[in-house]
Structure 1
Amino acid sequence: MTSTPDRVETTAPETPRLRLVLILGALIALGPLTIDMYLPALPIITDELATTSATVQLTLTGTLLGLGLGQLVIGPLADALGRKRPLLAGTALHVLASVLCLVAPNIAVLGTARLLQGLGAAAGAVIAMAIVRDLYTGRPAATLLSRLILVMGAAPVIAPSLGSWMLSFTSWRGVFAALALYALVLMPVAARLLPETLPVERRQAPSVRGTLRTYGRLFHDRTFVGLALVAGLTMSGMFGYISGASFVFQEEFGLSQQQFALAFSSGAIWLIGATQLNPVVLRRFEPRQILSAAVATGAVAAALMLALAVAGAGLLGVLLPLWLALFAAGFALPNAPVVALARHGETAGTAAALLGAMQFGIGAIVSPMVGVLGNDSVAMAAVIAGGLGLALIVLVAVVRPWRLTDAEPVPSLV
């Protein structure tokens, strides 16, 4: 068998890798910042807009839904128009949606604006992934994604603390003003410094029928669909944590906003630590091997977390297995897309879009479940354990990683 090349040549100018990582990381971070910065304010928004905690959590669901649907649209556009124009248009939409959140008079308007925020943030998520696939595959791609997650991983560490700090001198609306400003600054930076990595000769003719046909072919790739589900279910565990953490830590365990920010950030540190160990582990193991071990470890840790929560083990009983589950997720998240996208280089934008849409779509379905189940530590642990447990089942039953060969030729879908 022929080997899959580690680099895909393009006509884009050579870009220093550090600069590429910083710009792409900043673009990807727009999504996590949009999700996480307002988390400490959820109880405040519930009171101020005279609604329920479950309804407020639906604004998070709207954001995740927008991130998923937006990628389905932006991915094919990025394959047809190049990477930069859809990126800038999506970021501009995020700015406008953030301003709408800033002035939202009720929960309905806020929920709609959050959906639009997700649609705009989707551009950075899918196009950054497509740019990585334009330039690299295999171990180099997994290594670059690990570096990207270091940059974007700072977002969930910083965001709750930043949101809590802002709430000390402004209202929750000030959080959305800051998000609008961040996206506004990103636009000229990306326009000037980010290279166009998809040359004209490799672009796909824009066609609704062609896009649907490509999505159909992707859905017929058992391995791709399985890996997308594994990534989505792994992410669903994280979104269950994100949607329930502010209520569990602040209301059940009595933490202040500042203490909540520290507790929430501690989990992100374990996630980031794993992503930075991933390039070291990749020197000895293939991405599919690391993915398999990570998913299995995460499922076991989440099951332990659920058992301890049911037993009433307290804050540390929740945090310790949660940290292990997030550590495992830090190995799974960079490797699942690498294995999936390696098979679809000619339609990287569309494939990355479907991968991201399934991740955030599953997250949108799962995130309100913590509120439905009671917004306590048992509910949060049950959602996390359910997501990671299903990810392990799909990995074994559908992906069957022991049958994959890393030297397998990359098939063309066009």
Structure 2
Amino acid sequence: MSQDQLNAMVDLHGRFLSGRLGGRRAVLQNVDISALSLAHKDLRQVDFSNCSMLCMDLSSVNFQEARLYACDLSDSNLAKANFFRADLRGSRIEFANLKDANLDKADLRLGGINMGQGTSQQTSQHVNFRGANLSGAKLTGALASSADFTDALMNNINIMGADLRDAQLDGADLSGAQVTGANLHGAKLRDTILTGVDLSSFGQLDADLSEAITDANIGSSLQDLDEPLEQMIETHRLWVDTAGKEGRQLNLSGYDLRSLKELKKQKLTAIKAIKARFLGLNLYKVEMQSSILDNSDFRRCDMESADFRGSSFKGARFSHANLKNADFNPLLFGSGTNETTKRFNPCDFEGASLAYADLSGCNLRSANFKNANVAYANFLGADLRGADFSGAKIDNTNFDGANMDEAVMEIDRKSIFKLSALKDDEQ
């Protein structure tokens, strides 16, 4: 369907809503309208069941009481869209922008998809919000049992009275969420961020919080340091400049660093910060070469053009982080002709999660991504020569324009260039 054809249908639907002659309710079923625009349109009560609606501009659209059963809205812009009482059962809304969207009393339960024309065979699936941006969205009273919100941005969301029983919320950011009366019975909450949330206000929270991040376990406060951080940084720089003869290495392991707001352009070479919380920090052009940052949390951080050469990030989390043009190349230690004294130190991301992170233009030669999660990560134009992706989770990962000479992959490389294929098909 073309944009002109879609516009004509919307015009007829507008006449239907206003009761004017010749109006007709918009009904589209099993149709592909991907990459088209319905921004700011009044589409109350439309029926777009089982439509492919990927990469669309649906910002500020009014889908009140619409039937969007089993639709695929992935990668679409749904900012400020209205889904009040909409039927979104079985829909897929992965990596979409739903910032400030209204899903009040929307139906987000399990739904079925017809497997083929002329057959009654169906398959059921849960609503998929994996990696979506739901910041500030309203889901009051929404029916979202068993919905998948893995790695979704849900900060300042309103889920008051929502049914989220058995929902998958691993890695989701619900910081500052309004949760009064919400039911999270049986929900999965591994690495879920629940800071700034009144846990006592949940309607039901019969879920395992042992691996969630709350105000109680976020980490040690910087106020607990033995001396001011600025002074410790100066002592650390002296330690670096004198090759350890003077000063002391900066160790921020286990600390909650969010109160710093930013460390941009700071020189922090060779620091140690295991299991530190950098959540949302501005690390623009920071220098952390040869640092040990294993199991630290960099979700939503701005790390553009930073220098992390030779550093270790084993088990670290980078979901939704901006790493554009950062330098993760190896460091070579030692000099002269004696090869036995030289040490080649590439960056280590083994077991790390870089889902939905932007690594476009990064230097990542010989980086170790063994068993890492790089689903939906963007490596556009990155230097990945000699990188090792053995055992890595590669799903809808963008490697367009990346230099992958001698890179180790355990899957057919054609399957990871899905975004390029989609663009080629549209032309």
* TM-score, length-scaled by structure 2: 0.20
Kindly indicate which of the two structures has a greater share of residues assigned to strand: 2
TM-score by length of 1: 0.20
Bigger Rg over Cα: 2
